[in-house]
Amino acid sequence: MSEPSAGGGVSYEKVDAAYFDKRGLKRYAGVFSLWALGVGAVISGQFSGWNLGMGVGGWGGMLVATLIITVMYLGLTFSIAEMAAAQPHTGGAYSFARAAMGPWGGFITGLCENVEYVLTAAVVCFFIGSYLGGIFETPPWAQPLYWVGAYIVFVGLNAGGVAMSFRFTVFVTLLALACLVVFWISALPHADFMRYALNVGPGGTELPEGHGPFLPAGIGGALAQLPFAVWLFLAIEQLPLAAEESHTPARDLPKGIILGMLTLIVSALLVLWLNSSIPAGTFALSKSGEPILDGFRAIYGGGALAKVLAAVAVAGLIASFHAIIFAYGRQIYSLSRAGYFPRALSVTHGERKTPELALIAGSLAGLLVMLVVWFSLGAEKGTAAIGGTLLNMAVFGAMLSYVAQGASFILLRRKFPDMERPYKSRFGVTGAALTVIISLVTIVYQLKDPIYRTGVIGVAIWFAIGIAYFAAVGRKKLVLSPEEAFALNGGKNA
């Protein structure tokens, strides 16, 4: 059968019940598990990555950027909470955009999230290798071994079943938060905000005695740090991907998303304040691949205790790596189940009901990108490219998906005003509009930097491949998955 109103030459193929039987998921998660999944997906960004933009804009610039990005994520998460409760399907952002903007809009939004999650996992994996290399003092050439090992272990954990996956997520997220609490308590007696946090001067110069300007590069320097501030909250929006593995998604997804966001706001502000307020401060921190590890070194020296604490700090990176593998596994699964991606990727294990092929495909894509960059550029340049360019590709994909999700919220309010909404966003259309505006401003500042522009080219290539496949094959083989049926049924669940 076909869908004439969709446009774009999209058509659907009939499938029998066995098609969905082979693609079943198991329900397990409650509010606490969903909270852990959301916080766990993000928490690595508070261990590494957020700090890399402070060398010019300084601590004050990072604070301003963080506050702006916090507003964006509050608008986003409350909008997502409403849409996820109304559309409790695994598709997440693709599902929202599909109902609001048709199949092409849904697919392109799905591609945005695909870039975001696959490359975010790769960057987090890179930071895991960086931390482990610092702890065990291994040579640079050993980094790819850490990456391969990490993917094998955590894809295996994700494939072991939803119960095992969520239990591990809860455990490692609590461990990561405990590590941060230990760091905050340890840092407090050593904190000297004026001397260390404000040790960046105009032009990015180091001020050994601190007491520098709050905004050494002005408001422009603060806005230039928006892409790095995103790292403090990136991937909280993945929670709707667990909708079909939640017992009561209409009730629990909004609670999990909002509680997770509030937890991350508190944690992000404490990390920004205390990690920067101890020796050697903001200037040195802006060049660090493992800022929490450097913080422990500053407090406890480089001895065995610091290494033990740093090993525990890896839990933050592991929490995010594990949770984001879950995210791209379900994201690829949902697009595949609906026919946008090759359908074989959505087949789940007969007993465990995990999308193993989707997990493997996403992992191979991320690992392949890392290895190509590493071996083509060499260790030194490869490190900079993975920690910078790939990070920016992930952020760029995320910003595009946020624009699409904010627009989807606004369009759904207008297109389906009578749609059943078990939860309604407190910020409404205003919150969604702020999400769109701040996302677009962040993209503008990404494009101003040549390093970011390189990442944009990479995302464009990713999009070109995906759109070419969909135009040639996928659009002719769509399936009435729950996401598609909801859109075709006028915003009503079957």
DSSP 101-120: HHHHHHHHHHHHHHHHHHHH
Q: Has residue 434 got a pLDDT over 80?
A: yes
What's the mean pLDDT in 412-434?
A: 96
What confidence score (pLDDT) does residue 135 get? Answer: 81
DSSP string, 282-328: HHHHTT-S-HHHHHHHHHH-SSHHHHHHHHHHHHHHHHHHHHHHHHH
Q: Comparing 33-47, 369-383, 398-412, which segment has the lowest mean pLDDT?
A: 369-383
C-beta separation of 408 from 99 below 8 A: yes
Q: Comparing 26-30, 121-125, 267-271, 455-459, which segment has the lowest mean pLDDT?
A: 455-459
What confidence score (pLDDT) does residue 2 get? Answer: 40
What's the mean pLDDT in 349-370?
A: 96
What's the mean pLDDT in 445-468?
A: 85
Q: What percent of the chain has pLDDT over 90?
A: 78
Q: What sections of 16-92 are H helices per DSSP?
A: 17-21, 31-43, 54-86
What confidence score (pLDDT) does residue 312 get? Answer: 78
- Residue the block writes with tokens 């939860």: 423
Q: Has residue 231 got a pLDDT over 50?
A: yes
- Each residue of 165-212: pLDDT tens digit? 999 999 999 999 999 999 999 999 999 999 999 999 999 999 999 999
Q: Has residue 447 got a pLDDT over 90?
A: no
C-beta separation of 131 from 293 below 8 A: yes
What confidence score (pLDDT) does residue 8 get? Answer: 61
What confidence score (pLDDT) does residue 195 get? Answer: 97
Residues 6 or more apart in contact with residue 391 via CB below 8 angstroms: 49, 52, 119, 123, 231, 455
Which is nearest to 224 in space by CA: 414, 412, 60?
60
pLDDT: which is higher, 2 or 449: 449
- Each residue of 297-322: pLDDT tens digit? 888 887 777 677 777 778 888 999 99
C-beta separation of 155 from 357 below 8 A: no
Confidence grade of residue 130 (pLDDT, cut at 50, 70, 90): confident
